[in-house]
Chain A
Amino acid sequence: MTTTDALDTTFMRVLSASATARPFVLALAGVGLALALSGLLVLGSGKSPLAAYGSLASGALGSRDRIAVALNKATPYLLTATGVALCFRAQVINIGGEGQIAVGGLAATWVALALPDAPAGVLPIVAALVGAVAGAAWAALAALVRLTRNVHEVLVTLLMNFIGVLFVSEMLQGELGEPGAGFPQSPLLARAAWLPRLVRETDLHVGILVALAAVVAAHLLLWRTPFGFRLRLRGASAPAAIYSGVSMKRSLLSVMLVAGGLAGLAGALEVLGVHYRLIEGFSSGFGFTAVSIALIGGLNPLGVLPAGLFFAFLETGALAMQRAVGVPSPLVLVIQGLTMVFVLAAVALPAPARRA
């Protein structure tokens, strides 16, 4: 069995398991196992796992401010992971979220800096939309290489991450950089470009609403429209899709555009709602975290929601845990990794034997 075959087999199992109630149960079991095993690690270092998890939870959920930070963190995860889930459903293995986010943030910054006098109500919307378009265009480039040169999209999207991220750095060293800042970042955006706050006196911006809307829209698109049906059919069986008149090329391009748009939007919201400027490395790791979230979420938009929130809350609580109990914050990366391993391992188990 070749690696691609093994990948395909795992994939088909994720897909087939996702259509039942199994993944939800499996995900919960995966989280439980991951927490238990990480707890052993904490115990091994002579600390109390209960105290560590307690401070982790209070660090993430303990106050309005903490919750606001966590929800802001969840926003780009939810948007990007939703796009990844749609792609993977169609067996389009887009792992280019990182680059698409970077380019989306860059484009939004550029618009916000270029139109300093635009009215406050309009500028964030225009900048966010341009960010989405840029992300979609970046994904479309990868799709076109796939379609015209037949290079697998895993490779193209992966490599274009580097190009996208380095392109942002390049721009920050030059045209978009803040003179004399000493760090590769853009000047602060005009207040008119900032996303409005959702709750007074917290950092929570409206992005989380956009992310929730995207999740719901993706759910409806996937399960309630002919377009979504064709994506699922494409992912479930390429020969059956061709037999049913689904264009493999057009569907690949369109799902890449949707995913790239969502990732670009995520980058734009991160710039306009959190940093108010473009910072080198602002998207670092987002794209790959989104892939984990999409898989743990069973490649279902509605499954992405709890998975994305879980990851964001873990990361928000990590520093509090380190301060309070002295357990290093990277423990949450261990928990994330173990969750992913357990959930995928459980899903990849062959379904209970049926009549041969």
Chain B
Amino acid sequence: MPDVSGKRTVAMLTMRGITKAYGDVRANRGIDFDVPAGRIIGLLGENGSGKTTLMNILFGMVPADAGTIVFRERVLADHTPREAIAAGISMIHQHFMLVLAMTVTENVMLASNDDGAWLRHHAVADRIKEASDAYSLHLDPSALVGELSLGAQQRVEIVKAVLQGAALLILDEPTSNLSPPEVSVLLGILRRLRDDGRSVVFISHKLGEVLELCDDVVVLRDGAVTAARPVAGATREDLAYMMVGRDLPAPVERSARAPGRELLLVSDLGARDAAGVPRLRGVSFSVREGEVFAIAGVDGNGQGELADVIAGARALDTGSVFVDGQDVTAASVAERLAAGLAYIPADRASTGLVGIMTIAENLAMRDIGAPPHRRGWWLDRVATRALAETRMAEFGVRARDPESFAATLSGGNQQKVVLARELGRAPRVVLAVQPTRGLDPGATRFVIEKILALREAGAAVLYVSTELDEILAVADRIAVMYDGRVVGIVRREDADLARLGLMMAGVLEETSAAALAYGVSASESASRPGAS
């Protein structure tokens, strides 16, 4: 194995024959997993391939059915996360375990294992500063965690791990909420940790990042290791093939189609959140028949609010919304649905889907006041069930029956339920916010194909994503949002990744004349509705 750091490569972690079953599902089937000291290991796999289970077993969150773990020449068995941390293993979860109302120092103190009688703020703050300087984390120990960006919060998690004395850091999907510049900062920090003799397990399904960062890669499929190899010399195609066990089909063919009339037009949208902070500041654009208008940007720059406002789930301060020429600014959700507006919200877990209601109820929830679900005063449960069965077949939702709870479905199937509800009624305008978040490549592809099929059928699609790869795959035009404003609109054929990244970071604003000429600029068309 090539040695990057120049240090002697010794096994830090050896996992042998790890097996774990949940009921009938065998999540881990005799997995062997090794981490040498001073290496970054990419752990790749689709959703449900067993990578999270394997790491949860290592971290002591779930017990393995069989198998042995040796970490730094000590056997770990039936251990708790506390014992794992004491042994030198730290895990940074996708959802940070931080107290937002406390300072960086206090958060670190919460995680510390040294229980003296007194709190020593200054000593801890000094250690944070030291670690922050050593790994370029740029952390202010006295800052409130809730006021930090997601990238900085992640660095607080890293400093926690470092000060816990972690020799092995596990990061679960660490880049999913970061902008491209933040991602490269993170990758730099991880390299420095590696060069310092620590090891990192980088759980991801983003092939590009694994290729760029990792020394070795372990690929899981269906609970078993399909490959363990150095990254050097591997290609994206190799990794994708090992991950899904089949060649990913070539990129979807997109027909070149002339844009039609404007189906969605928004002008000068402004909205605030509950605390009165402006989340949208004068957003205007239009989306045409058969066009995918993508919005790029780092999470939390107003994209979610934009979609909520258009869909009627959030009040707006200023501006107006037109769907197919009809002013729906003040319309109810039901009226917007009737106008042909579908909405796939970002938050599947609590907004798009209700785990403790049945699949049939979830498929009906936005249309419950309309036929076929409603007949006079009553719900027509037979019709609801029949429609659910049709939709489930149409969208390939794999479930025991429509009366089972939505929470029992896998992530991919849950998203199919949302798609089935929103796209099943043949909408004219689709708002899709992060529709592939947390999905494996197969499910992602399914979603994108559905979206492109709607484009083909003449719908106008507003597609919000934080993944530039995905945006480039679907978009006709790309807008970038930063701090509640659209800071740039470019045509896909003119898109330049570097410039998009700068716009997402808020350092560049531009709207090419060509991009506006593709459609008609929003402000222009607002003054003469119906122009095409």
Q: Do residues B366 and A243 form an inter-chain contact, with CB atoms below 8 A?
A: yes
Q: Do residues A242 and B313 form an inter-chain contact, with CB atoms below 8 A?
A: yes
What residues on A are CB-neighbors of B228 within 8 Å? none
Interface size class for chain B?
35 or more
What residues on A are CB-neighbors of B350 within 8 Å? 237, 239-240
Known contacts A245-B332, A245-B366; is-contact A237 B351 (Cβ 8 Å) = yes
Shortest A172–chain B CB gap in Å is 42
Distance of A240 Cα from B354 Cα, bound (Å): 7
With an 8 A cutoff between CB atoms, is A224 at the interface?
A: yes
With an 8 A cutoff between CB atoms, is A232 at the interface?
A: yes
Known contacts A229-B379, A240-B354; is-contact A245 B334 (Cβ 8 Å) = yes
With an 8 A cutoff between CB atoms, is B237 at the interface?
A: no
With an 8 A cutoff between CB atoms, is A284 at the interface?
A: no
Q: Do residues B374 and A226 form an inter-chain contact, with CB atoms below 8 A?
A: yes
Encode B359-397 as 1/0 by CB contact (under 8 A) with A: 001000110110001100111010000000000000000
Known contacts A233-B357, A233-B365, A236-B356; is-contact A243 B345 (Cβ 8 Å) = yes
Restricting to A185-200, which residues have a CB under 8 Å from any CB of B? none
Shortest B26–chain A CB gap in Å is 10
Distance of A353 Cα from B56 Cα, bound (Å): 15
Distance of A232 Cα from B332 Cα, bound (Å): 20
User: What number of A-B contacts does a CB cutoff of 8 Å give?
Assistant: 81
With an 8 A cutoff between CB atoms, is A277 at the interface?
A: no
Distance of A224 Cα from B352 Cα, bound (Å): 23
With an 8 A cutoff between CB atoms, is A146 at the interface?
A: no
Q: Do residues A224 and B27 form an inter-chain contact, with CB atoms below 8 A?
A: no
What residues on B are CB-neighbors of A354 within 8 Å? 22-23, 408
Q: Do residues A237 and B368 form an inter-chain contact, with CB atoms below 8 A?
A: no
Q: Do residues A225 and B352 form an inter-chain contact, with CB atoms below 8 A?
A: no
With an 8 A cutoff between CB atoms, is A208 at the interface?
A: no
Q: Could you say which of A236, A353, A356 contacts B354, with CB atoms under 8 Å apart?
A: A236
With an 8 A cutoff between CB atoms, is B177 at the interface?
A: no
What residues on B are CB-neighbors of A19 within 8 Å? 356-358, 405
Shortest B106–chain A CB gap in Å is 17
Q: Do residues B312 and A245 form an inter-chain contact, with CB atoms below 8 A?
A: yes
Q: Could you say which of A12, A16, A224, A240 contacts B351, with CB atoms under 8 Å apart?
A: A240
Distance of A355 Cα from B53 Cα, bound (Å): 10
Q: Do residues A243 and B52 form an inter-chain contact, with CB atoms below 8 A?
A: no
Q: Do residues B357 and A355 form an inter-chain contact, with CB atoms below 8 A?
A: no
* Nearest A residue to B365, CB-CB: A244
What residues on A are CB-neighbors of B53 within 8 Å? 356
With an 8 A cutoff between CB atoms, is B10 at the interface?
A: no
Shortest A188–chain B CB gap in Å is 42
Q: Could you say which of B345, B347, B361, B377 contacts A229, with CB atoms under 8 Å apart?
A: B361
Q: Do residues B379 and A224 form an inter-chain contact, with CB atoms below 8 A?
A: yes
With an 8 A cutoff between CB atoms, is B353 at the interface?
A: yes
With an 8 A cutoff between CB atoms, is B25 at the interface?
A: yes
Q: Could you say which of A239, A240, A243 contacts B311, with CB atoms under 8 Å apart?
A: A243
Restricting to B111-160, which residues have a CB under 8 Å from any CB of A? none
Q: Do residues A356 and B379 form an inter-chain contact, with CB atoms below 8 A?
A: no
Distance of A355 Cα from B374 Cα, bound (Å): 35
Restricting to B295-315, which residues have a CB under 8 Å from any CB of A? 311-313
With an 8 A cutoff between CB atoms, is B448 at the interface?
A: no
What residues on B are CB-neighbors of A353 within 8 Å? 22
Q: Do residues A225 and B366 form an inter-chain contact, with CB atoms below 8 A?
A: no
With an 8 A cutoff between CB atoms, is A268 at the interface?
A: no
Q: Could you say which of A225, A233, A242 contacts B379, with CB atoms under 8 Å apart?
A: A225
What residues on B are CB-neighbors of A240 within 8 Å? 350-354, 365
With an 8 A cutoff between CB atoms, is B333 at the interface?
A: yes
Shortest A299–chain B CB gap in Å is 12
Distance of A237 Cα from B366 Cα, bound (Å): 13
What residues on B are CB-neighbors of A244 within 8 Å? 333, 365-366, 368
Distance of A236 Cα from B381 Cα, bound (Å): 19
Shortest A234–chain B CB gap in Å is 10
Encode A215-252 as 1/0 by CB contact (under 8 A) with B: 00000000011100110110011011011110000000
With an 8 A cutoff between CB atoms, is B343 at the interface?
A: yes
Q: Could you say which of A226, A239, A355 contacts B369, with CB atoms under 8 Å apart?
A: A226
What residues on B are CB-neighbors of A245 within 8 Å? 312-313, 332-334, 337, 366
Known contacts A225-B379, A240-B365; is-contact A356 B22 (Cβ 8 Å) = yes
* Nearest B residue to A245, CB-CB: B333
With an 8 A cutoff between CB atoms, is B84 at the interface?
A: no
Q: Do residues B333 and A225 form an inter-chain contact, with CB atoms below 8 A?
A: no
Can you give 24 contacting A-B residue pairs, CB < 8 Å?
A: A12-B356, A19-B356, A19-B357, A224-B379, A225-B378, A229-B361, A233-B354, A233-B357, A233-B365, A233-B368, A237-B350, A237-B351, A240-B350, A240-B354, A242-B313, A243-B311, A245-B332, A354-B22, A354-B23, A354-B408, A355-B23, A356-B22, A356-B52, A356-B56
Supplied contacts A226-B374, A243-B333, A356-B52, 18 more A-B pairs, CB within 8 Å: A15-B356, A16-B407, A19-B357, A19-B358, A224-B379, A226-B369, A229-B379, A236-B357, A237-B350, A240-B351, A245-B313, A245-B333, A245-B334, A354-B23, A355-B22, A355-B23, A355-B27, A356-B62
4 closest pairs, A vs B, by CB?
A245-B333, A16-B356, A239-B351, A355-B22
